[in-house]
Amino acid sequence: MARIVQKFGGTSVANTDRIKAVALRVKAEVDSGNQVAVVLSAMSGETNKLVEYVTSISKLYDAREYDAIVATGEQVTIGLLAIALQDLGVSARSWLGWQVPIHTDGVHGKARIERVETDEMNVRLELGEVCVVAGFQGIGPDNRITTLGRGGSDTSAVALAAALNADRCDIYTDVDGVYTTDPRITPKARKLEKISYEEMLEMASVGAKVLQTRSVELAMKQKVRVQVRSSYNDEPGTLVVDEDEIVEQELVSGIAYSRDEAKITLVAVPDQPGSAAAIFGPLADNGINVDMIVQNISQDNHATDMTFTLPIADLDRAVATLEGNRDVLQYRELRSDKDVTKLSVIGVGMRSHAGVAQRMFTALADKGINIQVISTSEIKVSVLIAEEYTELAVRALHTAYGLDSD
């Protein structure tokens, strides 16, 4: 007998027929003698609709009321699944965040889970009752409903799995696992049998949107074994696990890309102590997350060019901030570019192998693709290129690292 957390995303509970199909999957686990807690999203599109209701009334809404509204999508799906299960003769009960309770901090709209109380749920699970829990929500120190940020039900599932000491956390979604790269770009992309937490974290943070980034961080910290699998078939999915569990570690596990990047260059910034702090301080104060940074060698010992990347969504605010500080920063010109893509090659294997970056640079050069900015971490090499070459570059790298399926 095992204890399992199953999480179903929005497309898996998109309508009542799909909810009935989910009930059958849950029943199958119960019938094999397992204790099951289920975490659900709202029906797909539902949370967007609720957010639009809010913003159509007020752009400067009260975040507490935003949470009260956008958390309702999950209330519907958990109730419906509990009924569908009961209809199949399976004992089941729905649980809202405050009923568990799932305690979070007080950052409404983007709360972090702090503690999950499981005494009551443990009793119910032991009795064979299925606990159907609303994802994406909790209760804050102010005793009000909080939500965890978009895509947060993945994090609810992992947190619950950790608190319940579950043997597995299965995330059912509309893809059947984690791929070496986006299968829409190359049919040669392969489904990975296993991927390490760290690699998954890098993949999630650079555009592979299978799991919410925070859920992977939590799984890594709490050592929760996560399986990403399809809610449309019974194929095994991809296991997200500790690095030690992966015996035959590839040099590179995946190629990710993100088109949501923009680039800013400040031309002729004074080359003196404090320049970088003066540029990036105000951006950070405005909550703008800068990613890749390059500073050129100074042309005549007095001025240098500073180039960096940031999310496209923050570009306008960043430009406004920098122009507002022009007197202090004393750059000659500000150039910005939205038509860029960040390409990343990810693999824990590169810790112990040289030449990984070189292979990337050569593969891109062979296709005549210019590299604008480079950044590296222990298990990732990223480059910024012109957006129009995205597909070509992804395919070239996929082949260069031997990831193509036969």
Q: Which positions lie near ligand ASP, rule CB under 6 A?
A: 9-10, 41-42, 47, 73, 135-136, 150-154
Size of the site for Mg ion (CB under 5 A): 2
Q: Is 151 in the site for Mg ion (CB under 5 A)?
A: yes
Contact 49, 83 (CB under 8 A): no
Task: Please give the DSSP secondary-structure letter assigned to residue 402.
Answer: T
Rounded least distance, CB 358 to ligand ASP, Å:
39
Task: Output 44 or 336, the one with its CB closest to Mg ion.
Answer: 44
Side-chain-side CA neighbours of residue 330 (13 Å): 11
Each residue 2-41 as x (binds Mg ion by CB under 5 A) or -, in order, gives -------x--------------------------------
Task: Output 154 or 291, the one with its CB closest to ligand ASP.
Answer: 154
Element at 219 (helix H, strand E):
helix 213-222
Rounded least distance, CB 140 to Mg ion, Å:
22
Q: Tokens 């035959």 sit at which residue?
A: 248
Rounded least distance, CB 40 to Mg ion, Å:
11
202 binds, among ligand ASP, Mg ion, none (CB under 5 to 8 A by kind): none
List, in sequence order, every residue forming a beta bridge with 263; answer none if it has no partner.
Answer: 309, 337
Task: Output 11 or 275, the one with its CB closest to Mg ion.
Answer: 11
Residues 335-364 that bind Mg ion (CB under 5 A): none
Q: Could you please report the per-residue DSSP string of 301-358?
A: SSEEEEEEEEEGGGHHHHHHHHHHTHHHH--SEEEEEEEEEEEEEE-GGGGS-S-HHH
Q: Is 73 in the site for Mg ion (CB under 5 A)?
A: no
Cα of first residue to Cα of last residue in the chain, in angstroms, is 39
Alpha-carbon span 69 to 76, nearest angstrom: 12
Chain-centroid distance, C-alpha 168: 20
Task: Output 40 or 81, the one with its CB closest to Mg ion.
Answer: 40
Task: Output 44 or 298, the one with its CB closest to Mg ion.
Answer: 44
Task: Output 105 or 404, the one with its CB closest to ligand ASP.
Answer: 105
CB atoms within 10 A of CB 50: 16
Q: Which stretches of the chain bind Mg ion, using CB under 5 A?
A: 9, 151
